[in-house]
Structure 1
Amino acid sequence: MRRGIAAAVLAAAIAVSASACGSSGGSTSSGAKASGPVTITWWDTSDATNEAPTYQALVADFEKANPDITVKYVNVPFADAQTKFQTAAGSKGAPDVLRSDVGWTPGFAKAGYLVPLDGTPAAADTSTFEKQLVTQATFQGKLYGVPLVTDTLGLMYNKSLFTKAGIAKAPTTWDELKADAALLKQKAGVDGFDFNAASYYAMPFLYGESTDMVDAAGQKITINSPAAVKGIDTLKGVLASPGVTKLDTTANAYANMMDKFNSGKVAMIIQGPWETTNVYKGAAFSDKTNLGIAAVPAGSTGKSGAPIGGHNLVAYAGSDAAHQAASEKFIAFMTSAQSQTTIATKNATLPTRSDAYTPAVTANPGIAGFQTILTAGVPRPALAEYSSIYGLFNTELLKILANQESTQTGLNNASIATKKLLPSFATQ
């Protein structure tokens, strides 16, 4: 995920349609085996400037190791990729392999666009991957993706400002964060905390009360439960506290928050590892060791939790057998320990398998910091409609935080909208 994360998680639901069939652009007729060399198409959704060159270099390495397989590399803007793949799959013209956001994978699988990878070369090493990431790539008991990169939210903080305010360690509860924010304002002369008002960033307040937007296993809508109300009321209390930046709801809110943090005008934010490279470019973090990374504060249950994001490599079900076999080899190569180590060192993203956290990778303090808090990450339920609920939640969250409606009323409205997506789910 990158700066477009809010737009990505708030995108409309993937239309659940009949299973796709046929062949991809480089395939022979469905079910037939290609004679001779095979060309597969890969849609990479990484940042075209900062990340894509690393993936292109790995593609070249794969082709050298597999001379009978050619990979047609296509970089597709992340913001457009979900809709483009859905359209292409529906018209039997999707790429053989896609770098899919973890939130898209269940919907594509439910629509029949993806082939299960269980028992294939692509899934040979899954025991070395972080368990919750494999869970997040699974739909109805089958593995539909292999985790390529991962991320989660953490508390980023400015260590020198903490020292100036006499604060020895990162807050572990929201009450501690409020107290620290007030001290930072009083003693360091800066705002203690700034918040990106988007539903994805509000999830730690729900997880801290041991709840989620839905209970997928129990088929219940929980976005307006007493625990959820308590979580969002906690968020409101944080935002109303001394030393906390006034809520910014402008179109530039995200960029404004990052500019203030990077320049040392704000001491704490909730953020993910995709921003560490940009943070290190800021005046306040020319010394990388000044960036502190900790788990998000815990709620009243004593639990700390943050959503797990990232990307899986998935294979198109409409490709023929030869192209699917080549795709499986390609996915295995790209998600290998060696490839993930290369990706992490070049792109400063988090690997998804434990054996890729080499000394060279963890020499990056941002990666090392986020690695320690991955265990607090909460995988998304294997529910095709889940990503769309972020948008319904976000609409009401903004009204709640702007005091245009009460927490209970806003979350009730989100529940009503969610019921239309999940008519078989029970409501509170």
Structure 2
Amino acid sequence: MFPQQQRRRGALALAAGVTLALTAACSSGSDDPATTPDPTGSSTDGAVAAPAGEITVLTWRTDLVEDGTFDRYVSEFKAKYPDVTDVKVEGITDYEGEVKTRMNTEDYGDVLAIVNTVNPDQLPDFFEPLGDQAAMSTEYRMLAPKSFEGKSYGIPVVGNTQGIVYNKKVWADAGITDLPTTPDEFLQDLKAIKDSAPDVDPLYTNYADGWPLTQWESHRGEISADPDFDNLFAQDDAPWAEGTDHYVIDSLLWDAVEQGLTEADPTTTSWEPSKNLLGTGKIGAMVLGSWAIVQMQQAATDSGGSADDIGYMPFPYQVDGTFHAIIGGDYNLGINVHSDNKVTARAWIDWFNHDSGFADDQGGISPLVDSQLPANLADFTAAGVEFIEMNPAPAGKESLLNDIDSAAEIGLWSPDYRKALVDNARGAGEGKSKQEYFDSLDAKWAAARATVAG
């Protein structure tokens, strides 16, 4: 998330910044010692090392590999750097799982999106430092999550906010005219959709793919409207107690499933078809980051629906009459610490953020300091959403929250604990009630805190 900033209302005007000329780090992979750069990107004879040779880029955006978008990126990058002979792009469907496994070796590409399971204190073991965080912040924002001890190891490709993507026509046809402001109102709206259109899934979990369930975790901090939520979370022995952020978030998911307001058989869901189903009005809503808006609009158009039917609402909870939404970076691009062509890898990252147009194409928030919010967040502006930029952990405690989570074996950013939640809510799990399930999570968390934090 953004470092040391307070939340702001509305369009979040973003101040202009000074472009910082960043140099690539460490070896270019050349066998010629006269052209091998030092960690500043300069060769041993004082010349600046130019991008050359080939690199491999790993990406989770398999759709952009398949539709030729990455071919265009590679062509434009090579046109700017004619000594680059090839950029091999690997699209990976199970990105988190496969890349995590590959990181047990040295073979995980030259440029890759940093997987969420890497703790801050592990970043230096796997990724090349890109520069001093404070200096880089004049050019790039949202650096804090992938920084450690003042060094940044990843730069986000795009920024997102969090909310619920929905089909406006489905909601209007059910007689819903106002945005829900409480979880109970949201559930009532889902019931209205089910009553008016029995063949529509009011809320879709995408349970089978797993990763969409992790999107619910992105809303922590919005219920309390506190940019220090994560730091306080690490001090809490009962984060699922009634009234807490996790209680409100997970109760909404539990209640929707228990009341039959989600898909009938969650084990049969499928991500790609779900986009068309939302676009054509067979699904009412999905909890997803703002990155999904463009994909849903395109899917609506491709499947015979209308992009204008796709809307984006904040999580149904207000503090003092105001909606709040977390804003921060999506996947961060980093450089494999074992890469033998770090100069070209760094050039790719900077080119991707400055010149590819990816953030604009995805309707996302650019990681560049001098950008503005995209038009597809107009719904949030109209709703008066106040954005929250989460504050980073204090020095020396960057990995505390992840360490507690790991010791508790909950997996806040893995789908397993919310899959278990869905299973229990639909009567297919361990047979626990909502309170019993939350109590079990609190017990694990408290025990882990006692071990990790003392």
Instruction: Give the TM-score normalised by structure 2.
Output: 0.66
Summarize the Cα distance change of 1:290–1:356 in structure 2 as closer, same or farther, 3 Å threshold: same
Quote the residue 1:232 is aligned against.
250
Note if contact 2:279-2:307 (Cα within 8 Å) is conserved in structure 1.
no
Answer 1 or 2: which has greater helix percent. 1
Q: Tell me how far 1:304 sits from its aligned partner.
A: 3.9
- Tell me, yes or no, if structure 1 residue 138 matches structure 2 residue 147: yes
- Tell me, yes or no, if structure 1 residue 33 matches structure 2 residue 20: no
1:200 to 214, 218, 225: 214
Summarize the Cα distance change of 1:305–1:347 in structure 2 as closer, same or farther, 3 Å threshold: closer
Note if contact 2:60-2:92 (Cα within 8 Å) is conserved in structure 1.
yes
3-state SS of paired residue (1:286): coil
Quote the residue 2:131 is aligned against.
118
2:338 to 318, 327, 331: 318
Q: Tell me how far 1:115 sits from its aligned partner.
A: 1.8
Q: Tell me how far 1:310 sits from its aligned partner.
A: 2.3
3-state SS of paired residue (2:157): strand
- Equivalent residue letter for 2:191: A
Note if contact 2:165-2:310 (Cα within 8 Å) is conserved in structure 1.
yes
CA distance in 2, matches of 1:180, 1:85: 39
- Equivalent residue letter for 2:343: A
Q: Tell me how far 1:155 sits from its aligned partner.
A: 1.8
Q: Tell me how far 1:45 sits from its aligned partner.
A: 1.0
CA distance in 1, matches of 2:257, 2:95: 33
- Tell me, yes or no, if structure 1 residue 397 matches structure 2 residue 406: no
- Tell me, yes or no, if structure 1 residue 77 matches structure 2 residue 92: yes
CA deviations on 1:62-95 (whole Å, 9 max, x unpaired) are: 333233444532314142566446645x544443
3-state SS of paired residue (1:162): helix
1:410 to 437, 444, 447: 437
CA distance in 2, matches of 1:67, 1:257: 41
Quote the residue 2:167 is aligned against.
158
Note if contact 1:399-1:405 (Cα within 8 Å) is conserved in structure 2.
no
Number of aligned residue pairs: 388
Quote the residue 2:9 is aligned against.
none
CA distance in 1, matches of 2:306, 2:270: 26
Note if contact 1:112-1:317 (Cα within 8 Å) is conserved in structure 2.
yes
CA distance in 2, matches of 1:31, 1:119: 27
Instruction: Give the TM-score normalised by structure 1.
Output: 0.70
Note if contact 1:45-1:99 (Cα within 8 Å) is conserved in structure 2.
yes
- 1:198-277 superposed matches below 5 A: 199-203=213-217, 206-210=220-224, 215=231, 218=234, 220=236, 222-226=238-242, 227=244, 228-240=246-258, 244-245=261-262, 248-252=265-269, 258=275, 260-272=277-289, 273-274=291-292, 276-277=294-295
CA distance in 1, matches of 2:126, 2:234: 26
CA distance in 2, matches of 1:316, 1:156: 34
1:333 to 351, 366, 383: 351
Quote the residue 1:292 is aligned against.
311
Q: Tell me how far 1:421 sits from its aligned partner.
A: 7.5
Summarize the Cα distance change of 1:371–1:300 in structure 2 as closer, same or farther, 3 Å threshold: closer
3-state SS of paired residue (2:76): helix
3-state SS of paired residue (1:375): strand
- Equivalent residue letter for 1:143: S
- Equivalent residue letter for 1:405: K
Note if contact 1:213-1:221 (Cα within 8 Å) is conserved in structure 2.
no
3-state SS of paired residue (1:317): coil
3-state SS of paired residue (1:50): helix
CA deviations on 1:276-319 (whole Å, 9 max, x unpaired) are: 43554348873211211121211678664468562211122234
CA distance in 2, matches of 1:195, 1:147: 28
Q: Tell me how far 1:43 sits from its aligned partner.
A: 1.9
Summarize the Cα distance change of 1:425–1:406 in structure 2 as closer, same or farther, 3 Å threshold: farther
Quote the residue 1:67 is aligned against.
82
Quote the residue 2:189 is aligned against.
180
CA distance in 1, matches of 2:339, 2:92: 23
3-state SS of paired residue (1:55): helix
Q: Tell me how far 1:218 sits from its aligned partner.
A: 3.9
Q: Tell me how far 1:380 sits from its aligned partner.
A: 9.3
Note if contact 1:148-1:310 (Cα within 8 Å) is conserved in structure 2.
yes
Q: Tell me how far 1:112 sits from its aligned partner.
A: 1.0
CA distance in 2, matches of 1:261, 1:25: 46
Quote the residue 1:57 is aligned against.
72
CA distance in 1, matches of 2:281, 2:269: 18
- Equivalent residue letter for 1:138: S
Cα RMSD (Å) of the superposition?
4.5
CA deviations on 1:175-205 (whole Å, 9 max, x unpaired) are: 2212323333455666573141564243367
Quote the residue 1:5 is aligned against.
none
Identity of aligned residues (%): 18
Q: Tell me how far 1:324 sits from its aligned partner.
A: 3.0
CA distance in 1, matches of 2:310, 2:364: 16
3-state SS of paired residue (1:281): helix
CA distance in 1, matches of 2:73, 2:275: 31
Q: Tell me how far 1:267 sits from its aligned partner.
A: 2.8
CA distance in 2, matches of 1:73, 1:422: 43
3-state SS of paired residue (1:169): coil
Note if contact 1:25-1:93 (Cα within 8 Å) is conserved in structure 2.
no
